[in-house]
Amino acid sequence: MSVFNYRNGVLHAEDVAMPSLAADYATPCYIYSRAAFEQHWRALDEAFHDYPHLICYAVKANSNIAILNVLARLGSGFDIVSGGELQRVLAAGGDADKIVFSGVAKSEEEIRMALQCGESGVRCLNIESHEELERIQYIAADLNVTARIGIRVNPDVDARTHPYIATGLETAKFGLAVPAALDAYKAASKMPNVSVHSMACHIGSQITELQPFADAVARIAELVLELSEHGIAIQQLDLGGGLGIDYQGESLPSAQAYVDNILKQLRDHDINLPVAIEPGRFIAGNAGVLLTQVEYIKRTERKNFAIVDAGMNDLMRPSLYQAFHRISTVIDRAQHNNSEQWEIVGPVCESADVLGTERELSVTAGDLLCVESAGAYSFVMSSNYNSRPRPPEILVDGGSSHIIREREVFTDLVSGERLVELDN
Ligand code: LLP
């Protein structure tokens, strides 16, 4: 059930009308729904029933601390990829022992932070190279602690998604191929300050079929069994994120089908270890929209342009991945039959600054438009290109709205910059 609905022809976020949000916070702005974040998180959590599991929300999808706090209140774990994300989770009230730390290039400083936070450091560091394993042993010894680790296995599975967000093929920089992972586990099991905790895998993002997940889980399961023959016991399986969402009417597996598919593979291999998953997009993607206003209408011989006040710096997915985001008018004009084809473009001086192309809409200058599915990988990937202050983020909760990040101003843009005394 979507929380973004038309009521009497006006688009609402939960119980709040978009025009009143535009009036209160101005445009462009990001609008998130607390109820949607919670619904999506619960759908996955409940799909496991009483099977031992931990949902580790992938912080990179939307890392606003108010959003992390909404999820921490549900008891969520978190998947992080940097020291910055670690500090965000702790600032938002997340538990250190429910954090898994992924990422190919953890710095020495980040590893120290991860081993020292909370009562006994993060739950697990997912390791992606032999060198990283050695670095962790060295730091854990220096701190006189034991580091719980998992090896991220690259199962060489084609996730059949956009090449920029596929990570599970042998050609990717991510993880260790099965033979190298086996060696790394053997090495880890002999290290005095390292304890083997989990086996991790993440094959890509916006995956819309179950088969790649089934293939990946099967490879992982086989390796777990092989390790046990070597006397190495895995405590937890971390099966990554990647479940896709509806951007464009795709047919998608439900949360239940996704979880059942994982558990079936484990049953087939006679494995009943606790499972962690790292969903980002599934929880955040359809829990947010980007609200924007049409500044100008420009008609040329070939095309109609609706020039809006949000650009590729605010939402770069369409320019970077040719990603499709639905764009709808805040006032429902479906009954009007004067719709035309529009290019929805932003103010940035780049031809790639297009939010949507060939959209059948009825628009005029001053209209509010809603760019949908913008809760994940949207604000987090924004920039100040063209010296554009980033938009505010607003959290709607029932009939109320809260600003959870202020609109940036000029002083934010230049903070950290210095005019220097030059000789001439
Ligand atoms: N775990 C790991 C180790 C990851 O690298 C990722 C995403 C996730 C979990 C979460 O995946 P999700 O459930 O959200 O699919 N910027 C791109 C997406 C990049 C995803 C990177 N890794 C986009 O806008 O489509």
Ligand 1 atom, smallest distance to 242 CA: 15
Token output for 152: 């991220």
Which entry of 56, 201, 349, 370 is annotated as an active-site residue? Answer: 349
| Distance (Å, whole) CA 239 – CA 73 | 23
User: Cβ atoms within 10 A of the Cβ of 8, count?
Assistant: 7
Residues 241, 54 contacting (CB under 8 angstroms): no
57 lines ligand 1 (CB under 6 A): no
Is 205 near ligand 1, meaning CB less than 6 Å away?
Answer: yes
The pLDDT tens digits of the residues spanning 205-223 come to 999 999 999 999 999 999 9
Sheet holding 10-13, edge to edge: 4-7, 10-13, 16-17
Residue 77 CB less than 6 A away from ligand 1? no
- Helix, strand, coil content of the chain in percent (nearest 5): 35, 25, 40
Torsions phi, psi for 82 (to 5 deg): -160, 165
Q: Tell me, what DSSP letter sits at residue 77?
A: E
Rounded CA-CA distance 281/287 in Å is 9
Ligand 1 atom closest to the CA of 284, numbered from 1: 14
Convert the pLDDT of each residue in 120-151 to its tens digit.
999 999 999 999 999 999 999 999 999 999 99
278 lines ligand 1 (CB under 6 A): yes
Which residue among 40, 205, 243 is best mutated to probe the pocket of ligand 1, counting the most ligand atoms within 8 A of its Cβ? 205
Shortest-distance atom of ligand 1 to CA 167:
5
Determine whether the shortest distance from the Cβ of 279 to ligand 1 is under 6 A: yes
Tokens of 105: 């290039």
Sign of the four-CA dihedral 358, 360, 364, 367: negative
| 62 within ligand 1 shell (Cβ under 6 A) | no
Residues across the chain = 424
**CA gap 113, 402 in Å, rounded:** 31
Catalytic site includes residue 29: no
For a substitution probing ligand 1, which of 40, 60, 290 has the most ligand atoms within 8 Å of its CB? Answer: 60
Q: Which residue has the tokens 């992606």?
A: 128
* Helix (H) or strand (E) run with residue 228 in it: helix 211-229
- Residue ranges and CATH numbers for the domains of the chain are 4-31+285-413 (2.40.37.10), 103-277 (3.20.20.10)
What is the pLDDT, as a whole number, of residue 360? 95
Closest ligand 1 atom to 61 CA: 14
Residues whose CB is less than 8 angstroms from the CB of residue 154 and which lie 6 or more positions away in sequence, other chains included: 167, 168, 169, 170, 172, 174, 175, 176, 177, 178, 181, 201
pLDDT tens-digit profile, the chain (424 residues): 689 999 999 999 999 999 999 999 999 999 999 999 999 999 999 999 999 999 999 999 999 999 999 999 999 999 999 999 999 999 999 999 999 999 999 999 999 999 999 999 999 999 999 999 999 999 999 999 999 999 999 998 887 777 666 666 667 788 899 999 999 999 999 999 999 999 999 999 999 999 999 999 999 999 999 999 999 999 999 999 999 999 999 899 999 999 999 999 999 999 999 999 999 999 999 999 999 999 999 999 999 999 999 999 999 999 999 999 999 999 987 666 678 999 999 999 999 999 999 999 999 999 999 999 999 999 999 999 999 999 999 999 999 999 999 999 999 999 999 999 999 8
Cα–Cα distance, 101 to 334 (Å, whole number): 46
Is residue 379 within 8 Å of 368, Cβ to Cβ?
no
From the CA of 7, how far away is ligand 1's center (Å)? 33
The string of DSSP letters for 277-346 reads: E--SHHHHGGGEEEEEEEEEEEE-SS-EEEEES--TTT--HHHHH-----EEESB--TT----EEEEEE-
61 CB within 6 A, ligand 1: yes
pLDDT at 161: 72
